[in-house]
Homo-oligomer: A and B are copies of this chain.
Amino acid sequence: MSEKGKLIVISGPSGAGKSTIVFKAIEGRTDFCFSTSVTTRAPRPGEEDGREYFFIDRERYDQMVADGELLEHAEYVNNGYGTPRAYVEQKLAEGMNVVLDIEVQGARQVHESVPDAVMIFIIPPSMEELRRRLIRRGTDSMEAIEGRLMRARQEYAEAEIYDYLIVNEDADVAASEFSAIVKAEHLRTRDRLYLLK
């Protein structure tokens, strides 16, 4: 009997290691996929429509928002970003777990429209460690790094809406924690009442 997949929302500061953890956890597994967002921003060199994003124009985007076709959406730097509801629902119906890597603002919307979404917040061991990781990564100016740290602190203040909190001190440990959460969530009685008939 094929069960429905789980919608798994992950959030946390840039530099917390979200992607590393999830990739480690789902390596070799065929029951996981990532959601692909739509965006109104132009593709960057090397980006492919349907891979990094579905690139759509503002008119189509606004229509999707108006028609409730986005599970969550938000604006950054004058561009719209959102998660197409139909794609996610289809994958869940096929039994796939769908991973959604989004910010707190979008997570809050998903939390409201999909009450049984599994909400996971991933943080580094400390703000000092986060600063070190961002410096080591070398893609941001010091000013941008301070901005990211400030934003992380703001996100922490809203993290109570997440069901689970993973501290990424060791990526293997954190990946095993992610896996345990997903495994446990598939054992929820409310999803398995048919087994009691």
Which chain B residue shows the least CB distance to A159? B196
Q: Which residues 30-87 in A have Cβ within 8 Å of B in the complex? A: none
* Interface residues of A, dominant DSSP: helix
- Interface size bucket, A side? 20 to 34
Which chain B residue shows the least CB distance to A158? B196
Per-position contact with B for A171-197: 1 when CB-CB < 8 Å, else 0?
000001101110111011110110110
Chain B residues in 8 Å Cβ range of A157: 196
Complex alpha-carbon distance, A123 and B165, angstroms? 30
- Assess A177 versus B167: contact at CB under 8 Å? Given A159-B196, A160-B193, A196-B156: no
Q: What is the CB-to-nearest-CB distance from A131 to chain B, in angstroms, rounded to a whole number? A: 17
Complex alpha-carbon distance, A123 and B197, angstroms? 12
Complex alpha-carbon distance, A113 and B153, angstroms? 35
